[in-house]
Amino acid sequence: MGKFNRIGILTGGGDCPGLNSVIRAITKSAINKYDMEVVGFLDGFHGLVEGNYIHLDLKTISGIGYRGGTILGSSNRDDPFNYPSSKDGKEVMIDVSDRAISNLQDLGLDGLIVIGGDGSLHIADQLYEKGVAVVGVPKTIDNDLSATDVTFGFNTAVDTASEALDRLHTTAESHHRVMILEVMGRYAGWIALHAGISGGAHVILIPEIPYKIESIINQVKRRQWHDKKYSIIVVAEGAVALGGEMVVQKLVPQSHDPIRLGGIGNQLALQIEKLVKTETRVTVLGHLQRGGSPIPYDRVLSLRYGVAATEAMVAGQYGTMVSLQGPRIVTVPIKEAIKILKKVDPGSDMVAAARAVGISFGDEDQ
């Protein structure tokens, strides 16, 4: 391949712990090993379309590896292929991808590394099909990308949720309450499953296993019969009752994925209080799962992903995403990586192990 002189980076979608570590790894490896210049686009694809960017050098990235968030900013609304504009006083959506590509060319960039989830990677793949040299880095705390064993930020989110459950245990036991912790997980229940097991939850509710309120009530009552006067429930935001639908908080029309979930915890609390007559409190962990410093595992994984992305770019492996498979970082086509969501297998060993120690998934027969 020809010599690379300049590459660009952007972070798209929701933030998560480890983004800055990836930015640092890409920048350091590009500069130290290949003597490249690195440009960072601000606020995701918005910066690419509007031409807003900063130069990244060793001074700019110094000390950011352990920091949460992204120094570049991010956005989950500014899709260049469906970009908000104004016409006759009304907002319309237009394709400005040619403008984005023109900005890349004007800056003399030889390639673009996109750090994001399925939505951002879908946009990256579309840019690749229009001739842009693109490499993707998987980012989602939901851990629902099927082409990689794990995404950075997931383990930090699990750590945050597990600590919250540890704290809820003591207050629930003190006041004989049912405590519900609502965590992220729209279509996949990985955070709820891992945190629920590590945090000693008595009920885990995930999108992959529709629940019956009667089964949850039975678990709470069963604990009361055995003089266990409190219960801990962890529920993924996308969990659904058998025959029911996800609880939607609001819609964001300009977003790649406009549905915003939230409220399943409060819905469950009302049902439990009505049927068991036990005080039930809800904690919605929300963006606490996205914020804060990454744990050491995610710092290491982020660094490996960032360096691998630089290497993939130099090797001419365009249209691919770096992926952890077993002990190795490999590349896979972006198109294949985003085709299928990775969901919890209800028949998996992990679910079976949880059931074996008495954890309910809300689907048991009475």
How many Cα atoms are found within 13 Å in the side-chain-facing hemisphere of 198?
Answer: 15
HEC per residue, 240-264: CECCCCCCEEEECCCCCCCEEECCH
Closest CA to 161 of 211, 199, 106: 199
How far from 332 is each of 105, 126, 147, 322, 336, CA to CA, in Å?
26, 16, 7, 7, 7
Active site positions, annotated: 142
CA 247 – CA 304 distance, rounded (Å): 37
**Three-state DSSP class for residue 60:** coil
Can you spell out the DSSP letters for 70-118?
Answer: -TT---SS-BTTBEEEEETTEEEEE--HHHHHHHHHHTT-SEEEEEE-H
Tokens 């601000």 correspond to what residue? 42
Q: What are the strands, taking DSSP E only, across 169-227?
A: 178-183, 203-205
Q: What angle do CA 180, 183, 189 make, to 5 degrees?
A: 110
Q: Which amino acid, residue 149?
A: D
Neighbouring-strand partners of residue 333: 320
How many Cα atoms are found within 13 Å in the side-chain-facing hemisphere of 180?
Answer: 24
CA 58 – CA 56 distance, rounded (Å): 7
CA 38 – CA 115 distance, rounded (Å): 15
Neighbouring-strand partners of residue 353: none
